[in-house]
Amino acid sequence: MMDAQDRIAREFRFDVLGQLPGLRRYARSLTRSDIDAEDLVHDALVRAYEKRASFRAGPNMRVWLMSIMHNVFVDGTRARRAEAQRLAQVDPIRTSAALANG
């Protein structure tokens, strides 16, 4: 027999699966790449699973998942931008050191 928590978990998974086509479309519009879109959907679903306790049951599953996906996308974009800036700062230092040792 299935207890209430098992039933809720099963319904949660079923509801998430029903949202996959929309999530994939939105991810493609954000990333402009099928491969990056699949990665984004995966990362968003992992985060949604980790935060599933914060979800309030009701008809807003789609909105909740899309918000998570948007936030994952923005977080990734910021992280890549910060990494590029760090690398740009390191590259002149390496160039100067190579010329000095040259």
Per residue in 45-77, pLDDT (tens digit) is 999 989 888 887 766 889 999 999 999 999 999
Contacts 24+ apart (CB under 8 A), 70-78: 70/30, 71/47, 72/40, 72/43, 72/44, 72/47, 73/27, 73/30, 73/31, 73/40, 76/40, 76/43
Name the average pLDDT for the chain.
Answer: 84
Predicted local confidence at residue 55, as pLDDT: 81
pLDDT band at 93 (very low <50, low <70, confident <90, very high): low
- Tell me how far the alpha carbon of residue 12 is from its chain's centroid: 19
The domain tally of the chain equals 1
Domain that holds residue 29: 4-101
Predicted local confidence at residue 16, as pLDDT: 85
Predicted local confidence at residue 96, as pLDDT: 60
CATH number for the domain that contains residue 87: 1.10.1740.10
Residues in the chain: 102
Q: CB under 8 Å to 37, separation ≥6 — which residues?
A: 24, 27, 28, 30, 31
Predicted local confidence at residue 43, as pLDDT: 97
Residue 46, CA distances (Å) to 3, 14, 32, 42, 86 in order: 24, 15, 21, 6, 28
Predicted local confidence at residue 102, as pLDDT: 53
pTM, two decimal places: 0.75
Whether 6 has a pLDDT exceeding 80, the answer reads: no
